[in-house]
Amino acid sequence: MIDVRLLRTDPDGVRLALARRGQPDLLVQLDKAAHLDARLREITAERDEHRRQVNDLSKAVGLARKAGDAQAAEAAMATSRELGESERSLAAESDELQSALHDVLLRITNLPHPAAPDGGGEQDNPVVKGPINMPASFPEHQRVPHWETATALGILDNERGTKISGAMFTLQRGLGATMARALCQLALDRNADAFEEIRPPTLVSTATLTATGHLPKFADDAFAIERDGLWAIPTAEVPLTSLYAGEILDETALPARVMAHTSCFRREAGSAGRDTRGMLRTHEFDKVEILAIAHPDQAAAMLDELVARCEGTIAVLGLPYRIIEICTGDLGQSHHRSFDIEVYAPGCDRWLEVSSVSWFSDYQARRADIRFRRTGQKGTDIAHTLNGSALAVPRVWAAIIENYRQADGSVVVPEALRPYMRGATVIPAT
RNA sequence: GGAACGAUGGCAGAGUGGCCAAAUGCAUCCGCCUUGAAAGCGGAAGCCUCGCAAGGGGCCGGGGGUUCAAAUCCCUCUCGUUCCGCCA
């Protein structure tokens, strides 16, 4: 959530920042929030005054009783009873306003970072680095889509995956399955120098999925286990962000860095028929996520670090890649500033988004109530959260199959993965 | 799934209608002492919110109720612990 106080003290600034996203309705919601907030404060002040009087009278009753003055006690009780009536109705109104304001605020997006590039949508995202590792041209034998190569090699069996679970579920087998696991191991090992490995739950509560901004707006995108009130996580960002929810951290504990390898589940509602072949878009996939809970002053540098770490893993795999920055029109609800890493897949002839690194400012942390205490100072502050995909398996896996395909149809195992693949150097054509 | 007990400040833990924002201990911060530290001694200090301020209001797991007045009584939900049952 954005800070209501900022909306009070600098309404024009908030308005201008949000306007950069190019969604007129956001500004309507913003006005609604400002109006509700003003009304709420009016009512709350009035309610508080009534409460003060009731509190004073209650004390007076106790004192009068003790002094043996039954008549005075009785009089104070009568007055207090009357005040109680109006106090209750004011309190009810205040509660209503508060929950209405909360509902509106939950759906208002984060403010873009001033340096985030302006733009109307995906097509306006600028390339900020690369292409790197990009050959001048690709030989014909690399112009084969991964689903054809992998199926022929017997390492991808989507027919059976579909039999088991339905469309958009994949199944890797043999060295294909091993390579999927190897990719995760590589990503974990490359970040183990600074990140604590977590194995979080992959089914989470509604509160947890709300903290990251996935609810209430994007309920249709997540798999729900309604009977138990649980949701399947779309990314490890969800449980990792809530790791310290409701806690007050010591400033010296920041930045807190954690990582996790989990399955991720996405309904991909509305994308039926798109990218359904191969592994470009699936309901369930594996990913290693790295996440930091940082002091606001550390956040900008942390964003750079996360980008560098995610980029490093792609680079060590020898894949052609580039980095784009997400423009204001394409920025996700919770996002303050984001970079995507894209890998080129010659078989599909497409740039594939394989990693997204983002800074959420205090937007998620306010929802999750993650605070920190400055050493030697009173009070608490909201922390900042950042995260990035250290490695998302399916698209990287697909890009390897396409980029490392040889003329005989076999696929060379990238050097960096060999230690995790029992020494296999090639996935042989049978 | 059944039963019992529990949930209080950063942590531990008293408190069973008004004198309670709440004892005490640990941790924290400031000072004294010390070459420095520890120990010791003295002091400060919960969180949220409204307000320029003075000050006000709220918060004892969440929600509801009883009462002039609730951490305290009642209902309900959630979570935890232990025992039984089941089980990788």
| CA distances from residue A47 to A35, A123, A427 in whole angstroms, order as listed | 19, 51, 72
**pLDDT digit string (tens) for A94-107?**
988 998 999 899 99
- Distance of C1' in B2 from CA in A203, Å: 26
Question: Distance between CA atoms of A323 and A308, rounded to whole angstroms?
Answer: 11
Q: Using the CA of A63, give the nucleotide whose C1' is nearest.
A: B18
Residues by Cβ under 7 A, strand B = A 4-5, 8, 41, 44-45, 47-49, 51-52, 54-59, 61-62, 65, 76-77, 80-81, 84, 95, 248, 371, 373, 375-376, 378-380
pLDDT digits (tens, 9 = 90+) for A36-88: 999 999 999 999 999 999 998 998 888 888 888 888 888 889 889 888 888 88
CA A250 / C1′ B31 distance in Å: 24
- Prediction ipTM score: 0.85
What CA–CA distance (Å, rounded) separates A188 from A239?
17
A379, pLDDT greater than 80: no
Which amino acid makes up residue A298?
A: Q
Residues A292-309: tens digit of each pLDDT = 999 999 999 999 999 999
**Residue A247, CA: closest nucleotide via C1'?**
B10
CA of A261 to C1' of B3 (A): 39
Contact residues for A251 (Cβ-Cβ < 8 A; gap 6+): A295, A372, A373, A374, A375
The C1' atom of B16 and the CA atom of A70 lie apart, in whole Å, by 26
Query: H-helix or E-strand containing A350?
Result: strand A350-359
**Domains, chain A:** 4-107 (1.10.287.40), 122-427 (3.30.930.10)
The burial class, CB within 10 Å (0-12 / 13-18 / 19+), for A133 is middle
Starting at the edge strand found earlier in the chain, the sheet holding A196-198 runs A127-132, A321-325, A337-345, A350-359, A384-392, A284-294, A256-265, A196-198
**Dist CA A195 CA A113 (whole Å):** 26
Q: Which nucleotide is nearest to A92 (CA to C1')?
A: B64
> How do residues A273-283 score in pLDDT, each as one tens digit?
778 788 999 99
Q: Distance from residue A250 (CA) to nucleotide B27 (C1'), in Å? A: 12
CA of A375 to C1' of B28 (A): 9
What does the DSSP 8-state code read for residue A21? T
The CA distance from A393 to A399, in Å, is 10
- Give the mean pLDDT of chain A: 93
What is the nearest nucleotide to A87, using C1' and CA? B57
Query: Tokens at residue A246, please?
Result: 């409701």
